[in-house]
Structure 1
Amino acid sequence: MAQTHEWMFYEVMWRSWAGRAQVPYPVPWWAQQAFRRWSDDFDAGTYDSKEAAFASNALYRYWNMVGVKDHRQESLIGQAGEIEPVYDKYCLSFFLYDPATGALRLPQLPDTGSVEQRMEAPHLPVVLTTFRTPEDVEFVQRTFATPVGPRRRDLVVTRVTVGSPTGQPREGLLCAALMPAGPSGFQRHDRNGRQITDRRLTYLRHLPDEQRVETNSGWGPVFDTAPDQYGVYGNPDFSLDPDSYVAHSPFHDLVTGGKLNGAVEAQDQVAGSCSAVFGWPFRVAEDEVFEIDVRLPVDLFSGPADLAELRATPAAELESANRDFWTAKLLGQGLQPQLPRTVGHLTGLFRQARSQLLILSDRGEIHPGPTVYDSFWIRDSSVEATACSLVGDSALAETQLGTHYPLKFNLGGGHIGPCAGYGFYGGPHEKDDHEWDSNGQALWAIGRFDRTSGTAAPFGAKLYVPYVRDAARWIRDNRDGYGLLHQGWSAEHLGERDKRHFWDDFWALAGLYEAARLAERIGAPEVPELWGAFDDLKRATGDAIRWVLGEQRSRGAWETYIPTGPDDVGRLDSTLIGAAAYFHPLRLHMGSKLGDDVDRAARFTLDTMYAHFVTGGYRHEAAWNAYGPYLTLQLAHAHLLAGDPARMDELLGWVVGAGFPETAGRPAALGAWNEQHAFPIASDFTEVPYRHWYMGDMPHGWAAAEYLLLIRDILFFEADEDHDPHVYIAPGVRPHWVPAGERVAVDAAPTLFGEPFGYRLTHDPVARTVTVDITQAPERVRFVYPCRFGAVRSAAADGRQLAVTGNDVQIPAGAWQFTVSYD
């Protein structure tokens, strides 16, 4: 049964949306999508009523984000410019009012004006929202997050300018609305009371002398310019009638009476739906603009001294400092991919994904999302930290792996399900859901970072005992009677929690491999022991996969595929995606670590997945009933490493489009990815599944990390680091990416060899020649150039002819230039 505030919120939203012709109301974008194709088939396993599911915004979790690097709290930006500081109890948005006609123009409503939204630049986490009314009045809202004052506390600044695009004189009222619900929803919780995000606004007070607002017990917006008009609204009569909320609102008062109530304080102990509107009169013409600045405290501020500190720096200086920081960080530091103009947008998204990971870092912990996933997972963070280290944000990766991973290492006794507690990497997530992949992921990430850091920074040696050795022993000692990891729920996209999943075994193998190699590099005495653990798990995993494949053949299966685990023989559904990890990120195919037959089966599994579950992106109907953007990136990366760059390119193209979805001509997001991309949004509502679907957080840190890793490996990737170290140059660069006169380049890129790498590639389509200049290279590392332009005719390195056998041109270590001619 719905709680009172959930029921009231649903009714007020629906009645406001249905009656918008009489009194416009700022119904959030996500609520409009729910009303566009309403279904009573909510997720009854999570929510106890349709109103609870609606108030939680369970279906359309799309928004944009601003934040400060390494600070705890992010702020969401809605499709109409709404600002929601994640852990505060309000949302702030802007609109226009014409006192002469009584017209309200709200950017949330398509019929009151046009909205355009974009990032100021790919490397700048600044959201620009432009709203233009039919009367040719326009406001532009620039929103960013920045530290302020000597204590560098977090603040969101939004700067709003009103102008006349045609130059004709225009006047009216610029208004700011303060509401409880924002882009993320109203109140999110499940049946057990977990995952609570309570945005009820039960008390609201405007302090005119201080030009600020109090929301519940916290600070709300602070105005640089005092509003000329204001009104604060609540439910003083404790009414249980939803119509009283519709009628007793600032929007109703403006439409029917032309003014606000002038109150400075209100309560609503029924539905937690207090609201307020503040207004500034403007008159503009030609080159004139009217401007206000509003500051939203994100960190804790309290008292007159804090208010003075919050206001001390002019907004223009804060905006300039924010621009300078991100420009220096993302354009001046780290990996700088240089791609031709035809695919220059990939570089822009690369920088945007970097900024998202840096913003999602909370003092060195990278969290996979700003709201429901604002927490630390070993699984997600292992990929995120590795991506950061390989694109140049090594300090963040070192803090996460060197400081926060040891804090998640269990040193006590006892048991977690069927496994020992000591030596297990994990906090509440990993323990409660039996996420047995976490030890392999921690070992893999630590080992990869140790390689990238190089011998001058003995990172792995500092963690070896107990955090590497004993974590590897935990994998050795905590397996079932068949030698596999126990049943669990390492990731919900794999299937049920009462099953075993090869995903866990793949990660454990990769982790044991890295642990053994690390032991070799530092000369530890446990090298034979660790290789023994690796070989034993390799045998058990290989035997289980061969048994499954044999069973499927005996049942008449004509397609070869590795299902999610040994308990799912014959299960041909989208949980197959777990097998993509065999290639990426684990690279178990390099050296056929599980044998040539398993390697072939894994390659066939990629084909099976592509044939059955790819329609643009990867459709994960078995678990989510939605597209999986980061799963699509994993599959694209697997195809790249398996030698199929054409499929990689197709999947990458879909993912890029998924970062800029639109519905009814309005953008839903600006280059960020969800954990799940809803079928209705992906298709502009041409496909609306009957049964409910699942929506996670956005932007998704794991997805951002996958994108960084894919673009980096498209440009180059390492192979056989321990025996015959070599680098594949431009393995994913497609022929149509490089027209004449353009180039592909990488400078000072971190590598798993602990030394930087760089090159320049140019293409002469007339002479049918590719030229590559090596600008930096690790010692004793050779190169492979897999030519994608045509059949290789000849090749030369530093003026010497090279033997040509196929399209993978082998270039010796120490070469500084090579040319390849093709037919």
Structure 2
Amino acid sequence: MAQTHEWMFYEVMWRGWAGRDRIPYPVPWWAQQAFRRWSDDFDSGTYDSKEAALASNALYRYWHMVGVKDHRQESLIGQAGEIEPVYDKYCLSFFLHDPATGALRLPQLPDAGRVEQRMEAPHLPVVLTAFRTPEDVEFVQRTFATTVGPGGRDLVVTRVTVGSPTGQVREGLLCAAVLPAGPSGFQRHDRNGRHITDRRLTFLRYLPDEQRVETNAGWGPVFDIPPEQYGVHGNTEFSFDPDAYLADSPFHDLVVGGKLNGAPEAQDQVAGLCSAVFAWPFRVVDDAVFEIDVRLPVDVFGGPADLAELRGTPSAELEAANRDFWTAKLLGQGLQPVLPRPVAHLTDLFRQARSQLLILSDHGEIHPGPTVYDSFWIRDSSVEATACSLVGDSALAERQLGTHYPLRFNRGTGRIGPCAEYGFYGGPHEKDDREWDSNGQALWAIGRHDRTSGPRSAFGARLYVPYVRDAARWLRDNRDQYGLLHSGWSAEHLGERDKPHYWDDLWALAGLYEAARLAERIGAPEVGELWGVFDDVKRATGDSIRWVLAEQRRRGAWETYIPTGPADVGRLDSTMIGTAAYFHPLRLHMGSKLGDDIDRAARCTLDTMYAHFVTGGFRHEAAWNAYGPYLTMQLAHAYLLAGDPARMDALLGWTVAAGFPTVAGRAPALGAWNEQHAFPVASDFREVPYNRWYMGDIPHGWAAAEYLLLLRDILFFEADEDRDPHLYIAPGVRPHWVPAGEGIAVDAAPTLFGAPFGYRLAHDPAGRTVTVDVTQAPEGVRFVYPCRFGEVRSAAADGQELAVTGQDVRVPAGTRRFSVTYA
């Protein structure tokens, strides 16, 4: 049964949307999508009513994000420019009003005018929202997050300018609304009793002397210029009639009476739907603009001294400092890919994904998302930290792995289900859901970062005892009777939690491999012991997979595929995506670590998945009933490493487009991915599944990390680090990417060899020649150039002819320039 405030919110949103032709009401984009194709069916396993499901915004979790590197709280930006500081109890939105005609132009409504949104620049997390009305009045809103004061407390600044695009005289009111519902929803209240998002506004007050809004017990927006009018509304009559909220509202006052009620304070103890509007008159002509700045405190501020600090620095200085920080960080530090014109957007998206991971870092912990995923997972963070390590954000990777991983290493003597507590990596998520993949992931990430950091950092040596050795021993001692990891729910995309999944065992193998190699590098006495554990898990995993493959053949299956686990023989559905990890990120195919036969079966599994579950992107209907952006990138990366760059390119193209969807002319995302990409949004509502689905956060940190790793490995990747170290140069670069006169460059790229790498690639289509200048390279590492432009005719390295055998041109270590001629 719906709670009162959930029912009231549902009714107010629906009635506001249905009656928008009479009295416009700012119904958020996500609610509009739910009403666009409404279904009374909802996820009854999670919510106890359709009203609770709507209030939680379970289906359309799309928004933009701004934030400060390494600070806890991010702020979301809606499709009409609404600003929602995640853990505060309000949302701020702007609109226009013409008192002469009574016209109310709310950018949330599709017929109110044209809305365009973009990031100010790929390396700047600044959201620009432009709204132009049919009367040719336009406001442009620039929103960014930054810090203020000696303590570096963070805030959001939004700068709004009103102008006349045609140059004619235009006048009216610029209005700011403070409302409870934001881009993420109204309240998440599920059957587990979690109230993750509760944006009810039960008390709202404006303090004119301070030009400041109070929301419940916290601070709301602070205006640099005092509004000429204001009006605050609540539910003083304790009415249970939803229409009362629509009739007693600032939007009704403006349309019907042309002005606001002037009340400074209101309460609503029924539904928490207090609202307020603040208005500034403007008159603009020619190039003149009217401008206001609003500051939203994100950190904790309180008292006159904090208010003075919050307002002490001019907005222009804050904006300049924000621009300087991100420019220096993303354009001056770390891996700098340079791509030709046809694919220059891939570089832009690379920088944007870097900024997202840095913003999602909370004091060194990278969280997968800003709201429901705003906590720390070993699984997600292992990929995220590795991505940061390999693109140049090594300080963040080191803090995450070196500080926060030890804090998740359990030292107790109890039990976690069938397993020992001591030596297990995990907090509440891993323990409660039996996420047995986490030890393998922690060992893998620590080992990879130790390689990248180089021997002088001694990173792995500092963690070896107990965080590597004893975590490996946990994998030795906590497996089932078949030698596999126990049943659990390591990742929800794998299937049921009451079954074992090969995903866990593949991660265990990769982690044990890195642990044993780390032990070798530092001369630890347990080298033989760790290789023994690796061999035992290898044997058990290989035997189980071979049994499954044989059993499927016995049953008559004509396609070869490795299902999600040994309890799923014959299960040909999208949960088999876990096998993509065999190639990426685990690289178990290098050296055929499980044997040539399983290597071939894993390659066949990729093709089986592509044939059944790819329509542009990877469709994960078995668990999510949605596209999987990061799963699509995992599959693309697997194809890159398996030597099929054409399919990699096709999957990459879908992924990039999925980061910039369009729905009825609006941009739900601006270069970011959710965990799940809803079929309706992906198809502009041409496809609306009957079955319910669920959406994770956006930007999704794991997805951002997957993109960084994919683009990096398209440009180069390492192979056989421990026996015959070599680098593949431009293995994923497609012929149509590099027109005449343009080239590819990589600068200051960290590598698993502990030294940077860089190169310049130039393409001469007329001469059918590719020339590569190696500008930086680890010592003793040879190169392989897999030519994608045509059949290789000849090759030379530093003026010396090279033997040509197939498409992979093998170039000696120490080469500074080589060229390849193709047919």
Provide TM-score, normalisation by structure 1: 1.00
Q: Which residue of 1 aligns with 2:548?
A: 548
Query: What's the offset of the Cα at 1:384?
Result: 0.1
Q: Which residue of 1 aligns with 2:246?
A: 246
Letter of the structure 2 residue corresponding to residue 565 of structure 1:
G
Query: What's the offset of the Cα at 1:194?
Result: 2.0
Q: Which residue of 1 aligns with 2:53?
A: 53
Q: Which residue of 2 aligns with 1:608?
A: 608
Q: Distance in 1 between matches of 2:76 and 2:747?
A: 34
Q: Distance in 2 between matches of 1:552 and 1:135?
A: 67
Letter of the structure 2 residue corresponding to residue 509 of structure 1:
L
SS at match of 1:23: coil
Q: Which residue of 2 aligns with 1:171?
A: 171
Query: What's the offset of the Cα at 1:200?
Result: 0.4
Q: Which residue of 1 aligns with 2:635?
A: 635
Q: Which residue of 1 aligns with 2:476?
A: 476
Summarize deviations over 1:707-762 as a string: whole Å, max 9, x none.
Answer: 00000000000000000000000000000000010010101210000000010000
SS at match of 2:456: coil
Query: Equivalences for 1:498-647 in 2 at 5 Å?
Result: 498-647=498-647
Q: Distance in 2 between matches of 1:623 and 1:771?
A: 47
Q: Which residue of 2 aligns with 1:18?
A: 18
Query: What's the offset of the Cα at 1:412?
Result: 1.1
Q: Distance in 2 between matches of 1:744 and 1:604?
A: 32
SS at match of 2:143: strand
- Alpha-carbon contact 1:190-1:196 (below 8 Å) kept: no
Q: Which residue of 2 aligns with 1:429?
A: 429
Q: Distance in 2 between matches of 1:378 and 1:578?
A: 17
- Alpha-carbon contact 2:357-2:705 (below 8 Å) kept: yes
Summarize deviations over 1:428-482 as a string: whole Å, max 9, x none.
Answer: 0000000000000000000000000001110000000000000000001000000
Q: Distance in 2 between matches of 1:245 and 1:311?
A: 34
Q: Distance in 1 between matches of 2:198 and 2:309?
A: 29
Q: Which residue of 1 aligns with 2:766?
A: 766
Q: Distance in 2 between matches of 1:512 and 1:756?
A: 26
Summarize deviations over 1:90-125 as a string: whole Å, max 9, x none.
Answer: 000000000000000000001111000000000000
- Alpha-carbon contact 1:148-1:310 (below 8 Å) kept: yes
Letter of the structure 2 residue corresponding to residue 770 of structure 1:
V
- Alpha-carbon contact 1:629-1:703 (below 8 Å) kept: yes
Letter of the structure 1 residue corresponding to residue 284 of structure 2:
V
Query: What's the offset of the Cα at 1:491?
Result: 0.3
Query: What's the offset of the Cα at 1:196?
Result: 2.3
Q: Distance in 2 between matches of 1:684 and 1:319?
A: 35
Q: Which residue of 1 aligns with 2:375?
A: 375
Q: Which residue of 2 aligns with 1:306?
A: 306
Q: Distance in 1 between matches of 2:111 and 2:750?
A: 51
Query: Equivalences for 1:285-296 in 2 at 5 Å?
Result: 285-296=285-296
- Alpha-carbon contact 1:212-1:221 (below 8 Å) kept: yes
Tell whether 2:414 aligns with 1:411. no
Letter of the structure 2 residue corresponding to residue 77 of structure 1:
I
Calculate percent identity across the aligned residue pairs.
86
Q: Distance in 1 between matches of 2:636 and 2:551?
A: 29
Q: Which residue of 2 aligns with 1:386?
A: 386
SS at match of 1:337: strand
Tell whether 2:443 aligns with 1:446. no
Q: Distance in 1 between matches of 2:524 and 2:605?
A: 38
- Alpha-carbon contact 2:490-2:504 (below 8 Å) kept: yes
Letter of the structure 1 residue corresponding to residue 179 of structure 2:
M
Letter of the structure 2 residue corresponding to residue 399 of structure 1:
R
SS at match of 1:158: strand
Q: Distance in 2 between matches of 1:130 and 1:197?
A: 28
- Alpha-carbon contact 1:187-1:197 (below 8 Å) kept: yes
Q: Which residue of 2 aligns with 1:739?
A: 739
Query: Equivalences for 1:2-41 in 2 at 5 Å?
Result: 2-41=2-41
Letter of the structure 1 residue corresponding to residue 213 of structure 2:
V
Q: Distance in 2 between matches of 1:444 and 1:731?
A: 24
Q: Which residue of 1 aligns with 2:457?
A: 457
More displaced stretch, 119-128 vs 660-669: 660-669
Query: What's the offset of the Cα at 1:192?
Result: 1.5
Q: Distance in 2 between matches of 1:210 and 1:777?
A: 59
Q: Distance in 2 between matches of 1:715 and 1:129?
A: 34
RMSD after superposition: 0.4
Q: Which residue of 2 aligns with 1:284?
A: 284
Provide TM-score, normalisation by structure 2: 1.00
Q: Distance in 2 between matches of 1:457 and 1:333?
A: 19
Q: Distance in 2 between matches of 1:201 and 1:507?
A: 45
Q: What are structure 2's unaligned runs of at least 5 residues?
A: none
Query: What's the offset of the Cα at 1:195?
Result: 5.1
Q: Which residue of 2 aligns with 1:183?
A: 183
Q: Distance in 1 between matches of 2:745 and 2:722?
A: 26
Query: What's the offset of the Cα at 1:649?
Result: 0.2
Tell whether 2:158 aligns with 1:158. yes
Q: Distance in 2 between matches of 1:248 and 1:679?
A: 38
Letter of the structure 2 residue corresponding to residue 643 of structure 1:
G
Summarize deviations over 1:164-189 as a string: whole Å, max 9, x none.
Answer: 00000000000000000000000012
Letter of the structure 2 residue corresponding to residue 644 of structure 1:
D
Tell whether 2:192 aligns with 1:214. no
Q: Distance in 2 between matches of 1:294 and 1:621?
A: 44
- Alpha-carbon contact 1:340-1:744 (below 8 Å) kept: yes
Query: What's the offset of the Cα at 1:190?
Result: 1.2
Q: Distance in 2 between matches of 1:323 and 1:815?
A: 39
Q: Distance in 1 between matches of 2:730 and 2:745?
A: 9
Q: Distance in 2 between matches of 1:542 and 1:730?
A: 33
Query: What's the offset of the Cα at 1:691?
Result: 1.1
Q: Which residue of 1 aligns with 2:319?
A: 319
Query: Equivalences for 1:37-186 in 2 at 5 Å?
Result: 37-186=37-186
Letter of the structure 2 residue corresponding to residue 421 of structure 1:
E
SS at match of 1:663: coil
Query: What's the offset of the Cα at 1:694?
Result: 1.3
Q: Which residue of 1 aligns with 2:694?
A: 694
Q: Distance in 2 between matches of 1:465 and 1:251?
A: 64
Equivalenced residue count is 823
SS at match of 1:819: strand
SS at match of 2:27: coil
Q: Which residue of 2 aligns with 1:230?
A: 230
- Alpha-carbon contact 2:187-2:195 (below 8 Å) kept: no
- Alpha-carbon contact 2:783-2:812 (below 8 Å) kept: yes
Q: Distance in 1 between matches of 2:204 and 2:221?
A: 12
Letter of the structure 2 residue corresponding to residue 499 of structure 1:
K
Q: Distance in 1 between matches of 2:195 and 2:112?
A: 36
Q: Which residue of 2 aligns with 1:656?
A: 656
Q: What are structure 1's unaligned runs of at least 5 residues?
A: none
Q: Distance in 1 between matches of 2:710 and 2:112?
A: 42
- Alpha-carbon contact 1:195-1:372 (below 8 Å) kept: no
Query: Equivalences for 1:199-210 in 2 at 5 Å?
Result: 199-210=199-210
